[in-house]
Amino acid sequence: MNILAKSTRYILILISCFVFNLSNAQQSSKELVSKIKAYKVVDTLSTPEKMDFYNRKIKEGRATNNYELCAYTYFVKGFLLYRLKIEVDTTKLCYEKALLFAKKSNEDMLLSILYARYAAFLAIQEENTKALVFSDSAVIASKKVKYDYATFEGYFTKSRANIALGNYDRALQNIFNAQEFAVRPTDSIAAIKRLAAVYSYNGNYEKSAIHYKQSIDFQLLQKTKRDSSFALQSMGNLSDLYDQMNLQSKRKQQLDKNLKFSEYVPHEKYMKANILKQLADYHIEVSKDLDSSAYYLAIIDKELPEINELGFLANVNETRGALSFKKGAYQKANAFYKETYDFYKKANHLQKIRDISFILSTSLEKANNPEEALYYYKEFHKANDSINDKDKIEKFKEIELNNQYEKEKFETELAHQKDIAEEKEARNWLIFGLFGIIAISGFLIFSYARKKKQAKKLEEKNKIINQQLDEKQLLLKEIHHRVKNNFQIIASLLELQSKGIEDEKALELAKEGKNRVKSMALIHQRLYQNEDLLIELDDYIRMLVEDISKTYGKDATTKVTYNVPNYKFDIDTAIPLGLIINELITNAYKYGFASNEQLLNVSINKVNKEEYVLEVKDNGVGLPEGFNFEKAKSLGLRLVRQLSKQLHGKTMYSNENGCSFKISFKDTEARMLVE
């Protein structure tokens, strides 16, 4: 009898908990809005007066232990500071205090929207990992009380944080989840715009364009001043997207539509000015109609005589510089470009510094100012290296942040588990009444879950190992990229230095040195571009010969034939082989050809499993009488001799209808077997 009474008691407790939770879940969001409005101060007061009022209310709530008063007052004060975009630390403190008092007062619906608003605030402050944690808290808390608006906000902020962290697939799923809980039309529009942005980041431009068009249609249907501004913004996104897709005719059509529509939103002067700038860019880059470009820039000067937004002024000056450059007014172009450069330098915008530095170096060279051109060329490489370093740091930082996020998410879930511990305890008592049957099932489920967990852990470890291997390969490619950049700088310095050399022999030595450096730079360029870190010989040799021809074959037409199957070699074989080819082709141009009817053949054949033969042949005057390759004193032929030995090869030459050099060699794997 006692057992029956105890079981009945536990069942009644469970039913009571269920009814209580159901009544909480059905709490109207309108009640929450009414409560928030009740705690807000009247809008006629000034900002300092509002702050003073909220501070007095908080003091009153603390003195009387009125947690509800403290929770709502901190919330409305924090939201006011958030809208004013001032006192970031004070805003953060207000949200944290509001969360603390909302938990103490059991204001579950307020708690859910607080988590969502705080997460949105953190995302704006670029605290994306923390934003993900509080977004999860918002989703969990809002689903508990069935408050769809807070659930939408939680998922929507998660999508923003994941975009910032580069997790585009997660961001996409977050937006799909958010759409399920959208309550207002504005929420649906916001979700569609974010979908368009994520598809653009993923390179899925067609889907992105579809969603931008949908957002524009929905915004225009609202027929409000605010939505008209948002529609114009989406139109600008769409024209940028067409530029990325290289659909220039569609881009022009869209820009014309944007300009026409901007007349209906006269308060958005900078939006209209940006459209005019984009039209000016289009006529410089695509249509080559410089008069039209100047026309649109003149309208900007007329409608915004004093541009207060410095970032926009920098963009406009870059366009003005491009127009002057195209017109051949290089001094004027340089003045505009330098103003743009100074702004980005002050803002420490590395990508923009890199781009404008390269443009400046080209423009200054056109203006016969080699010293300044070299300075900005160095600035270009410095910014480029900083970006690469930053990308590596961000990659490692993302891994670290993801680990931190998982840890904080686990801690948050533990905190929620503690909040519902009493409810679980009541359910557990009911389960104990059926313990005999459930125990066996539970044991089987536990065993299965344990095995599944172990398998998951093993899978995660394998994933980490693969990720680490990918990171090491990425670092190796980065090293090749850096080496290539350094070689290119050396080649550029040699090129600039050679312009001041009058001695023919010294000039020739500088040219040869530059070509050797460029042949090695080309190797490293190919290495970081190829996923397997191997050199495709056919493409490499064609580019190398073409580069040498530009240096030595300017006065004649050389017919070059190739017989180079697409063999792949690693760096230990490719560099010496590239230098050998460089020397032999250079010698052919310098000493071999006697007329303008120049023929040159480059071939590589595999003669057996381990050995290859490189042949460079020309139709020139041939080698001098009594020539002895082993005793040749020129640096180029000494290099060929030493590098051939390095490749375990032999050098053969002949004078039949010109000069022919044949070098046998072995790849790295074959050489290692011999060693």
What is the sign of the dihedral through the CA atoms of 320, 322, 324 and 327? negative
Give tens-digit pLDDT for 495-517.
666 666 767 666 666 666 766 67
**pLDDT band at 433, cuts 50/70/90?**
low
Q: Is residue 417 pLDDT above 70, yes or no?
A: no
Q: What pLDDT sits at residue 422? A: 53
pLDDT at 350: 79
CA distances (Å), origin 193, targets 187, 207, 585: 10, 11, 57
Task: Identify the three-state secondary structure at position 614.
Answer: strand
pTM, two decimal places = 0.50
Q: What is the pLDDT of residues 598-623, one digit of tens each?
A: 888 999 998 888 889 999 998 888 88
* Class of residue 5 by CB neighbours under 10 A (exposed 0-12, middle 13-18, buried 19+): exposed
**pLDDT for 173 beyond 90:** yes
More confident residue, 269 or 595: 269
The more confidently predicted of residues 375 and 87 is 375
662: β partners: 615, 652
The pair of structure tokens assigned to 568 is: 């792949």
* Cα end-to-end distance, the chain, whole Å: 91
**Mean of pLDDT values over 226-233:** 85
Helix (H, G, I), strand (E, B) or coil at 478: helix
Q: Indicate the domain borders of the chain.
A: 551-674
Decide which of 577 and 484 is more confident.
577
Residue 11 reports pLDDT greater than 60? no
Q: Which of 19-28, 526-535, 579-588 has the highest mean pLDDT?
A: 579-588
Residue 26: which H helix or E strand, with range? none
Q: Is residue 258 classed exposed, middle or buried when 0-12, 13-18 and 19+ CB atoms within 10 A define those classes?
A: buried
Confidence tier at 253 by pLDDT (50, 70, 90): very high
In terms of average pLDDT, the best of 4-8, 277-281, 425-429, 438-442 is: 277-281
Q: What band does 1 get if pLDDT is binned at 50, 70 and 90?
A: very low
Per-residue pLDDT tens over the stretch 90-147? 888 888 888 888 888 888 888 888 899 899 888 888 888 889 999 999 999 889 888 8
Which band of pLDDT confidence, cut at 50, 70 and 90, is reported for residue 231? Answer: confident
Answer positive or negative: Cα dihedral of 505, 510, 515, 517: positive
CA nearest 319: which of 283, 289, 349, 344? Answer: 283
Question: What pLDDT does 314 receive?
Answer: 86
Ordered alpha helix ranges (H), 553-615: 571-587
Give the model confidence (pLDDT) of 330-354 as tens digits.
899 889 889 889 988 887 777 888 8
3-state secondary structure of 492: helix
Whether 596 contacts 556, CB under 8 Å? yes
| CATH number belonging to domain 551-674 | 3.30.565.10
AA letter at 157: T
Q: What angle do CA 253, 259, 263 make, to 5 degrees?
A: 145
Q: Return the beta strands (E) in 403-505 as ranges.
A: none
